[in-house]
Structure 1
Amino acid sequence: MHQSRSASVQKRRYRSIFISDAHLGTRGSRADFLADFLSRTECEQMYLVGDFVDGWRLRKTWFWDAHHDEVIRLILRQARNGTDVTYIPGNHDEIFRNWLGLEMAGVKLALKAEHTSADGRRFLVIHGDEFDSVVRYARFIAYLGDGAYNLALSLNRYFNLVRRKFGYPYWSLSQWLKRQVKGAVMAIDRFESALALEAKRNGFDGVICGHIHHAEMRDIGGVLYMNDGDWVESCTALVEHHDGRFELIDWAAENRLSPWPAVPAPPPRVALPA
Structure 2
Amino acid sequence: METGKMETKHFRTLFISDVHLGSKAARTDFLLDFLRYHEAETIVLVGDIVDGWRLKRSWYWPQDCNDVVQKLLRKARKGTRIIYIPGNHDEFLRSFPGVHFGGIEVADRIIHETADGRKYLVLHGDQFDVVVRNIRLLAYLGDWAYDAAIVINIGLAAIRRKLGLPYWSFSAWAKLQVKQAVNFIGEFQNVVADEARRAEVDGVICGHIHHAVMEDIDGIHYVNTGDWVESCTAIAEHMDGSFELITWRQVAATAQVHALPAPEGREISATQAA
Q: Which residue of 1 aligns with 2:61?
A: 64
Deviation at 1:257, TM superposition (A): 7.4
Please give the alpha-carbon distance, in whole angstroms, between the structure 2 residues aligned to 1:42 and 1:90.
24
Which residue pairs with 1:191 in the alignment?
A: 188
Cα distance change, pair 185–17 in 1 and its aligned pair in 2 (3 A): farther
1:177 aligns with 2:174: yes
Structure 2 equivalent of residue 20 of structure 1: 17
CA separation of 1:173/1:257 partners in 2, compared to 1, >3 Å: closer, same or farther? Answer: farther
- Structure 2, unmatched stretches of 5+, are 263-274
Q: CA deviation at 1:182?
A: 6.6
How much is the aligned-residue C-alpha RMSD, in angstroms?
A: 2.0
How far apart are the structure 2 equivalents of 1:74 and 1:127?
22
Alpha-carbon distance in 2 for matches of 1:182, 1:10: 37
Kept after mapping to 1: 8 A contact 2:52/2:89: yes
What residue number does 2:100 align with?
A: 103
Aligned partners of 1:160, 1:207: CA distance in 2, in Å?
Answer: 34
The match for 2:240 is 243
1:85-140: CA deviations, max 9, x gaps? 00000000001112121011000001101100000000000000000000000000
How many residue pairs align between the two structures? Answer: 257
Amino acid at match of 1:92: H
Q: 1:170 is paired with a residue of what secondary structure? A: coil
Distance 2:234 2:134 in 1: 29
- Structure 1 counterpart of 2:206, one-letter code: C
Percent identity, aligned pairs only, is: 52
SS of 1:255's partner is helix
Q: Return the alpha-carbon distance in structure 1 between the equivalents of residues 156 and 213 of structure 2.
A: 27
- Find the counterpart in structure 2 of residue 271 from structure 1: none
Task: Find the aligned partners of 1:171 and 1:164 in 2 and give their Cα distance.
Answer: 10
Report SS of the residue matched to 2:57.
coil
Match of 2:199 among 199, 202, 220: 202
Counterpart contact for 1:179–1:185, Cα < 8 Å: no
TM-score by length of 1: 0.89
Unaligned runs of at least 5 residues, structure 1: 1-5, 266-274
Looking at structure 2, the residues matched to 65 and 218 of structure 1 have their Cα atoms a distance apart, in angstroms, of 36
User: Displacement of 1:148 after TM fit?
Assistant: 0.6
For the Cα contact (< 8 Å) 1:20–1:229, is it kept in 2?
Answer: yes
Letter in 2 for 1:227: N
Cα displacement (A) at 1:185: 6.2
Please tell me whether the aligned partners of residues 90 and 129 of structure 1 are also in contact (alpha carbons under 8 angstroms). Answer: yes
C-alpha contact 1:16 1:46 (8 A) present in aligned 2: yes
Mapped partners of 1:216, 1:168: distance in 2:
26
Amino acid at match of 1:205: D
TM-score by length of 2: 0.89
Aligned to 1:233: 230
2:114 aligned with 1:117: yes
Contact kept, 8 Å, 1:196 with 1:223, in 2: the verdict is yes
Is the contact between residue 178 and residue 185 of structure 1 (CA under 8 Å) also seen in structure 2?
Answer: no
Q: Distance between the aligned counterparts of 2:100 and 2:151, measured in 1?
A: 36
Structure 1 residues 124 and 103, CA gap change in structure 2 (3 angstroms): same
Classify 1:257/1:54 alpha carbon distance in 2 versus 1 (closer, same or farther; 3 Å).
Answer: farther
Letter in 1 for 2:80: T
**Mapping for residues 1-274 of structure 1, pairs under 5 Å:** 10-181=7-178, 183-184=180-181, 186-256=183-253, 263-264=260-261
